[in-house]
Structure 1
Amino acid sequence: TRFLDNVVTANAYVSNVPQLREAALQARRIGLGIMGLGDLMYHMNIRYGSEESEEFASQVMEFVRYHCMLTSIELSEQRGPFLAIRGSIYDPDEMTWTPPQPIKDYIRDFGRPKINWETIVDGICEHGIRNAAQTTIAPTGTIATVAGCEAYGCEPVFALAYLRHVNDKGQDLKLEYASPRFEESLISAGLDENERSEIISKVTRSGSCQTIDQVPQHIRDTFVVSQDITAKQHVRMQANLQAFVDNSLSKTCNFPQDATEEDVAEAYSLGWKLGCKGLTVYVTGSREKVVLETNNTAEGATEALDLSETQSSPSDGNLQQPDQQLFPESKKSRPTRLHGATYQVDTPLGKSFITINENGSNEPFEAFVSTAKAGSETSAISEAMGRLISYVLRISSPIVPQVRLEELARQLEGIGGSRSLGFGPNRVRSLPDGVARALRGYLDDKLDINLTNNSDLTNDFYANGEEQEQLTFQFGALCPECGEAAVVNEEGCRKCYACSYSEC
């Protein structure tokens, strides 16, 4: 609670929209939540989705909300309440807030410490409260994985074994995962290695252990996954948590592939009646690309894709002829005369001049990149980038040239090299990054955005007026050994001042 309140103060708000900072400081809303609820239920031998689990989740979240508000009251005493407390439900003079109540009365004792909501009421009346909203439950997908949790946020475990899809530089990297806690429970139950291997192999297919007879019943009763829980149980679990969460929370209601519209409508209706602030529904197999999926789901999607491609393939008599083209020309011809603008950018390899010419429709048509002397490696790379940019702009396509140029800038910006030039927002990481800045400058000019740093990317950064030492460096051609732009002609020989490479 203290950390999140500090973030409200220290956050770097968008300076162009001062209303964001004002709104944040007026209410000081925070969102303390939980993660790994499904793991905790595995540890407690509680079946997620059961009545016992509903009360357990409710008691856990009530404990979190109580102590979050208690700390917020302490912060209010030390730092003052949120600015907009007057007239709100927490107004100490006319407080309308009442302590949250569980959906059903508690009948179980999980050993949770006692709490007294009257302490919260008295504290707000005396000191106010620091934060207008205190709790939420986030998805926590990535950070839960890093922390070693099998269940994300307040969700049940997705599957006891599944495939995780990771975007690895544009490639789909598939990682297989199996629950270590499930395997530990099998070991504790006395199953030998061969039995465990057979069970894990079966679980890997569907992700669930509910239909595997070799798994002891007490383990099946505890180790349920998202597909083993009915839609009503998902909604009721969310409602029991929502009772003690003043913001909304992230929770998915999973449906099987044969779910109907009536099933989904019933889930939304139940969520509304129980006081849920939102509801997310996911029908298994309804999306082509997902982050997590079981082997059965992945194979089903592959088979469906193969069937679709087979049905859509033309018959032998109707094959598209090789000479048939979508566009009559592959690349637009260049007019005799074009108008454009040249942008100068300081890069780690020296000054670069980027010229962007427009066609008769005032659309970007071609680009020229010039850096260093002709005949050097730097000059060759610059010319290559200019040619590729021009080709992308001139090729026949339904995508307008300006959108293509925006995508080119997005692909080039941020590319790092062996060294950078400048600091902070004016930092140029490489020659491609410098070209991207010139493209952005052109696009900003097209949108009539007056950016102060477009004309000179390195000026006005040093408050004391000192010149950058990097600008005094003698730039050269790219070295074939170390890659540095430090190869210069000296005494009739080409030498590299970075690695001592010599052509003599």
Structure 2
Amino acid sequence: MTETASGSARAAQRKGAKGMKIERVFSTEGVHPYDELTWERRDVVQTNWKTGETVFEQKGVEFPDSWSLNASTIVTTKYFRGAVGTDVREWSLKQLIDRVVKTYRKGGEDNDYFASVADAEIFEHELTWLLVHQYFSFNSPVWFNVGTPSPQQVSACFILSVDDSMDSILNWYKEEGFIFKGGSGAGLNLSRIRSSKELLSSGGTASGPVSFMRGADASAGTIKSGGATRRAAKMVVLDVDHPDIEEFVETKAREEDKIRALRDAGFDMDLGGRDITSVQYQNANNSVRVTDEFMRAVEEGTDFGLRARGTGEVIETVDARELFRKISKAAWECADPGLQYDDTINDWHTNPETGRITASNPCSEYMSLDNSSCNLASLNLMKFLKDDDTFDADLFAQAVEVIITAMDISICFADFPTESIGATTRDYRQLGIGYANLGALLMAMGLGYDSDGGRAMAATITSLMTGVSYRRSAELAAVVGPYAGYARNAEAHKRVMRKHQAANDAVRTLHISDEKVHKLAAKAWADVVKLGEKNGFRNAQASVLAPTGTIGFMMDCDTTGIEPDFSLVKFKKLVGGGSMQIVNQTIPRALRKLGYQEEQVEAIVEYIAEHGHVIDAPGLKTEHYEIFDTAMGARSLAPMGHVRMMAACQPFLSGAISKTVNLPETATVEEIEDVYMQSWKLGLKATAIYRDNCKVGQPLSDGGGKAKKDAKDAADAAEAAAEVKTVVVERPVRKRLPKSRPSRTTSFTVGGAEGYMTAGSYPDDGLGEVFLKLGKQGSTLAGVMDAFSMAISISLQYGVPLETYVSKFVNMKFEPAGLTDDPDVRMSQSIMDYVFRRLALDYLPFETRSAMGIYSADERQRQLETGSYEPIEEVAVDQGSVGEETAHLAEPATSAPSVEAASVKEAPRGAHTSAELMEAITGTAVDSPLCFTCGTKMRPAGSCYVCEGCGSTSGCS
């Protein structure tokens, strides 16, 4: 296929095409992009959060001084090639960018993309400038592979196919395994496989697709455990009219029940635990492919036919509304399955004459032909925000032209995991340009994420991006020829371009800024239709919206993909190690844009730093609250706010959107049904949901067998107390400490703040006083801490149990926070959080603090090695006594459980994601997990979590 593509290029040249003239926009003639920046040397050191052992070290790496420590750490550890400590190891960002950009330039020159050598040089400088200034990034495989001796793999997204034969099914296992081995993910549709309700040619009954999913899931789990840095990412799709659809819908929900039962029976169901391998289907995202016919049947409450795979005849009829309910209930229970809307997807398909779109990549943004792939790149939208807080649409469009040209060139020299994928990709040349930082951009512009203005801005930017991409694709077709499959699909492709243009015409702008973007987008789409009619198109697809996890951190983005801001307070990595929480720096800019004076801005930012939200912030107008709504927190976005934003952008994307609609734990099955139904009506191509706490072992979830027993003990105690007729009131008596008593002094550091704690105890054991020293004597902080220490000490002497204070103050959040110098408590959310964790470890028995999820480093290590936190000599102790010993601490069953009490439940044995295991082994209830590698709080990216400190990911499952 490479010869065919090159032949097309030469044919275009023979017809008079002279190659592309490249305009210099970003770089400066006569000045190399590197020379415009100030460069500095940094040391990148990463330590194991459990042991403190150095796991990565490279000193003297070179980066621009404008790049954050996070960005330079991620690039150094993830993308620099060559063995660490050898002369061949890359040590400068210049080497990395040159390795990639020079390969792209050579690919363009070899395939006649440029009109002259001078144009090739301008292209090189423009691409270099955009990368080194963090205006965009290619997807990770480009940084891993391009310009190295490794295969030149540039694609991150793959779609496979499987037919109804054992040869095809076994080939599926093989191809998927090779893709997983390379660190990528794949998706496919299993609907061609006969159902378990159909006969084989031999007369027996077919196994059905769900049975074959077990083998693929085991393969993915094995390859993952063979050394991959994240869970294997895969997507499994089944059509809604497949006779095995109900079995498919309920697979993961039933496995979730199994996890709960095994956990309560004492099995080790943690991620990587000894017994978790008995649970199936955990390595894939599941989606049901629904049709308009089915969704209308749901609306009307009519029956729906399930069809045999071979003949297409209806072999079973089901109630459509009941099946839809089962889909939504399963998603309510375990977040799977999601929905993909088949008719909508294929109505926007540019290549229907070649075949239907039946599946997607693991995160659902790439949707195209079977056995195909897509390489991605994402722009940093905040880089195009001008000083007057308007969006620079002209500059954005010019950046898109350079990036699309580079992405298409990469297909000329790229390698692929299978011959069929390579052939399809070279014939159709699917691209996936997208963006990150939308949430931050809208906030900086003073636009709410869930507002008409926010949606109009996002829609016009997306329209402009895709319109300019297809315009450049048509211009490339004039130079190097249209994609090989264009001729047979020309009319369909042009029809979809007109659909995009019509959608752009339907946008109603609200501000001067989005009006200007919209006009440029309209001009771009008019050019697309005109040039496409004349030249055809170089690319079958142009755009998607991907999660942009690791590359988002490489670009120093505040938000990923199309996501809103996650929270108003973020973690920032500090020089020399550690991290601290800071208020999102987009907030002051947004406040100034809204007209607040500097002293008002300072007061509001200080309030947000303390409270984490804007409710009742001094001087902030209530009509401005929506601008600061986030995915998490006191003013979290409503689920339909996420859906409406996706619906605004979807008509301007070739593919789809990687995004999960978050719902609170209290959400009902009916609300999930509404999200799925409205997503279909609003024209989305795919929807996934996640209800808080629907997974076993998630933070603040049911603590399992022991927690249930403790709750029963408390209820029994309350019932017994209710039977007492006479109430005896006793006044507490203070038990003072003797003049001479044993004490322990601990020095500590929390988020860079140093302090000392002295704890005195009674001679017969038991904590009796605590004194804390922070700051200079006479300072406000020192005075407050002295008063607090006295209050706690007197309360302890009056008999208030230490565990009561631990339950109240553990997980309290305020600054300073972050890494500590205590190996038993590596991360702390405040000084109070640290102090009472340390006191619990020093003075509470194992059984009591275990129920609160507080363990020492040795105990956490023991759990990872043996599956149990308990000391060897205590394993055989009857656990029933624990409830009796602690029953008197519980409040009556008639009282509502407090948030504080809920937050210190026993670390769950059923954890099965990185977030849940981190919760279990650190004992910290957090709104997102801590990284396994470095201990830093992670950030959601699509359906994954990505570490802000080192770039590690949790995978897409």
Give me the TM-score of the superposition, normalised by structure 2: 0.28
Residue type of the alignment partner of 1:223: F
Classify the secondary structure of the residue corresponding to 2:435. Answer: coil
Distance 2:497 2:589 in 1: 46
The structure 1 residue matched to 2:688, chosen from 269, 280, 289, is: 280
Q: Taking structure 1 as reference, are residues 255 and 211 closer, same or farther at Cα in structure 2, changes over 3 Å only?
A: farther
Q: CA deviation at 1:152?
A: 0.9
The structure 1 residue matched to 2:600, chosen from 191, 201, 214, is: 191
Classify the secondary structure of the residue corresponding to 1:48. Answer: coil
The structure 1 residue matched to 2:664, chosen from 253, 256, 261, is: 256
CA contact (8 A) 1:90 1:124 kept: no
Partner deviation per Cα, 1:465-491 (whole Å, 9 max, x = no partner): xxxxxxxxxxxxxxxxxxxxxxxxxxx
The structure 1 residue matched to 2:622, chosen from 217, 221, 240, is: 217
Distance 1:192 1:56 in 2: 25
Corresponding position of 1:45:
446
Classify the secondary structure of the residue corresponding to 2:641. Answer: helix
Classify the secondary structure of the residue corresponding to 2:690. Answer: strand
Distance 1:155 1:71 in 2: 27
Corresponding position of 1:82:
483
- Provide the aligned C-alpha RMSD in A: 3.4
Gaps of 5+ in 1: 166-172, 291-300, 317-391, 393-504
Residue 495 of structure 2 is aligned to residue 98 of structure 1 = no
Distance 1:315 1:307 in 2: 12
Corresponding position of 2:408:
5
CA contact (8 A) 1:252 1:282 kept: yes
Distance 1:158 1:88 in 2: 41
Residue type of the alignment partner of 1:180: Q
Q: Taking structure 1 as reference, are residues 289 and 9 closer, same or farther at Cα in structure 2, changes over 3 Å only?
A: farther
Classify the secondary structure of the residue corresponding to 1:150. Answer: coil
Classify the secondary structure of the residue corresponding to 1:226. Answer: coil
Distance 2:540 2:498 in 1: 14
Partner deviation per Cα, 1:286-313 (whole Å, 9 max, x = no partner): 34688xxxxxxxxxx25x4657643358
Matches within 5 A, 1:122-161: 122-161=530-569
Matches within 5 A, 1:172-321: 176=581, 178-183=583-588, 189=597, 190-191=599-600, 196-203=605-612, 208-210=613-615, 212=617, 215-217=620-622, 219-227=624-632, 228-287=636-695, 301-302=699-700, 304=701, 309-311=706-708
Q: CA deviation at 1:179?
A: 1.1
CA contact (8 A) 1:199 1:215 kept: no
Distance 1:72 1:186 in 2: 40
Distance 2:627 2:663 in 1: 20
Residue type of the alignment partner of 2:638: T
Classify the secondary structure of the residue corresponding to 1:281. Answer: strand
Distance 1:70 1:276 in 2: 24
CA contact (8 A) 1:151 1:158 kept: yes
Distance 1:280 1:12 in 2: 32
Give me the TM-score of the superposition, normalised by structure 1: 0.52
Distance 1:97 1:226 in 2: 33
Q: CA deviation at 1:278?
A: 0.6
Distance 2:483 2:640 in 1: 38
Classify the secondary structure of the residue corresponding to 1:31. Answer: strand
Matches within 5 A, 1:21-32: 21-32=422-433
Residues 262-271 or 102-111, more deviating: 102-111
Distance 1:289 1:311 in 2: 14
Partner deviation per Cα, 1:343-379 (whole Å, 9 max, x = no partner): xxxxxxxxxxxxxxxxxxxxxxxxxxxxxxxxxxxxx
Q: Taking structure 1 as reference, are residues 33 and 96 closer, same or farther at Cα in structure 2, changes over 3 Å only?
A: closer
Q: Taking structure 1 as reference, are residues 308 and 129 closer, same or farther at Cα in structure 2, changes over 3 Å only?
A: same
Corresponding position of 1:484:
none
Residue type of the alignment partner of 1:50: S
CA contact (8 A) 1:234 1:253 kept: yes
Distance 1:247 1:285 in 2: 30
How many residue pairs match? The answer is: 292
CA contact (8 A) 2:603 2:618 kept: no
Residue type of the alignment partner of 1:65: T
Corresponding position of 1:58:
459
Residue type of the alignment partner of 1:2: T
Q: CA deviation at 1:74?
A: 1.0
CA contact (8 A) 1:72 1:130 kept: yes
Classify the secondary structure of the residue corresponding to 1:86. Answer: helix
The structure whose Rg is larger is 1
Q: Taking structure 1 as reference, are residues 71 and 215 closer, same or farther at Cα in structure 2, changes over 3 Å only?
A: same
CA contact (8 A) 1:91 1:128 kept: no
Distance 1:44 1:242 in 2: 22
Residue type of the alignment partner of 2:416: Y
**Moved segments of 4+, more than 6 Å:** 313-316
Q: Taking structure 1 as reference, are residues 220 and 195 closer, same or farther at Cα in structure 2, changes over 3 Å only?
A: closer
Classify the secondary structure of the residue corresponding to 1:98. Answer: helix
Gaps of 5+ in 2: 1-403, 714-865, 867-957
Q: Taking structure 1 as reference, are residues 181 and 140 closer, same or farther at Cα in structure 2, changes over 3 Å only?
A: same
Distance 2:591 2:705 in 1: 41
Structure in which a larger fraction of residues adopt helix: 2
Q: CA deviation at 1:252?
A: 2.2
Distance 1:232 1:12 in 2: 41
CA contact (8 A) 1:39 1:150 kept: yes
CA contact (8 A) 1:36 1:152 kept: yes
Q: CA deviation at 1:212?
A: 4.5
Q: Taking structure 1 as reference, are residues 315 and 200 closer, same or farther at Cα in structure 2, changes over 3 Å only?
A: closer
Partner deviation per Cα, 1:435-480 (whole Å, 9 max, x = no partner): xxxxxxxxxxxxxxxxxxxxxxxxxxxxxxxxxxxxxxxxxxxxxx
CA contact (8 A) 1:186 1:196 kept: no
Q: Taking structure 1 as reference, are residues 248 and 289 closer, same or farther at Cα in structure 2, changes over 3 Å only?
A: farther
Residue 443 of structure 2 is aligned to residue 35 of structure 1 = no
Matches within 5 A, 1:346-425: none
Q: CA deviation at 1:66?
A: 0.9
